Chain A
Amino acid sequence: MVDLKKVVLERDLNPYHSFFASFFAGLGELGMLNQGSINIVAKRAADYLYAYLDAKEILPDMDTVPGESKTEVIKNLILYINKILSLVGEYDLQDAGDDQVVLLIAGNTCRICPKGVGGAEVKGTLCPIPSLLESLINMITQKDMLELITAGIEKEGSTCKAYFKVLN
């Protein structure tokens, strides 16, 4: 059982974070969700989020998204998405060579982790972030810009990592 008070205060959770993480944690514990289904569901969610952003007329204008390299553009799009959804506290996007980038998330600042926030007692991961970012960024840029290479998220100590191929 996670220390809920600590998690809520340290990660600055809003009620939706708490609901989302614990709801998916429950489904995971029942065996109804796994990383494979989270990846599929996150893509579906990206469709709806895109439609939401469009309806609210807050989609970024790709002509004005700053960034001299593709990595910088992607970085700024992640910044924009994170500002809206408040997914994580600390993260970074770094070049990983061979047209790849790696997303590094400080695990103890993630606000939607079904395990760290929702307390899911399951093996493996249940992370929607890589698949959500892949789909949403491709929709915003109107092209296949990113392709998730890792199956979901990889844990390395307290850091969660996801590798992407930068396509266009």
Chain B
Amino acid sequence: MVPTISAQLDAILNLFERNVPHVQATAVVSTDGLVIASRLPKDTEEDRIGAMGAAILSISSRSGDELDRGEMVRVLVEGTNGYILIRSIGEFAILVALVEKEVRLGMLFYECKKCIEKLREIL
């Protein structure tokens, strides 16, 4: 039996989290800000993560255009407790990851790219 799209997305996010120590949570969100799939802690407000992730990426992309920075690769928000990494998956979806401060950024970016490629095959 072919796994559902939700199950496939969950498996990819799960693999990403296993491959990169310190990734705490992940979500695939539509560019409309609506959550498609997520692996978020129970106390996380999924709707807010989706809406804010899409808005941050959208504003960043427009800023990049306005300021002639070329096509945006990723958005990395750095806080004292960790990072929020946001990347576009294609025209209609984005990936949001919540990451602890101790992460190796090189590993995070490399695995994120691989994860995006897999997600693109499904979405």
Contacts and interface: CB of A to CB of B under 8 A. Distances in A.
Interface of A: 30-37, 39-40, 123-125, 151-152
B12 interface: no
Interface string B9-35: 000000000000000000001111111
Contact of B32 (A30, A32, A35, A40): A35
A151 B34 contact: yes
Given A34-B54, A36-B54, A151 B32 contact: yes
Contacts of B34: 35-36, 151-152
Given A40-B47, A123-B31, A151-B32, A32 B52 contact: no
B51 A39 contact: yes
B76 interface: no
Contacts of A151: 30, 32, 34
Nearest to B62: A31
A34 B47 contact: no
A125 B30 CA distance: 12
What is the interface residue range for chain B against chain A? Answer: 10 to 19
A124 B31 contact: yes
Interface string B50-78: 11101100110110000000000000000
B49 to A, nearest CB: 9
Given A37-B52, A40-B47, A31 B59 contact: yes
Q: Which of A34, A35, A124, A152 has the most CB of B within 10 A?
A: A34
B48 interface: yes
B28 to A, nearest CB: 13
B111 to A, nearest CB: 26
Given A37-B33, A124-B31, A151-B32, A32 B51 contact: no
B33 A35 contact: yes
B58 A34 contact: yes
B33 A36 contact: yes
B99 to A, nearest CB: 21
Given A37-B52, A39-B47, A152 B59 contact: no
Nearest to B52: A37
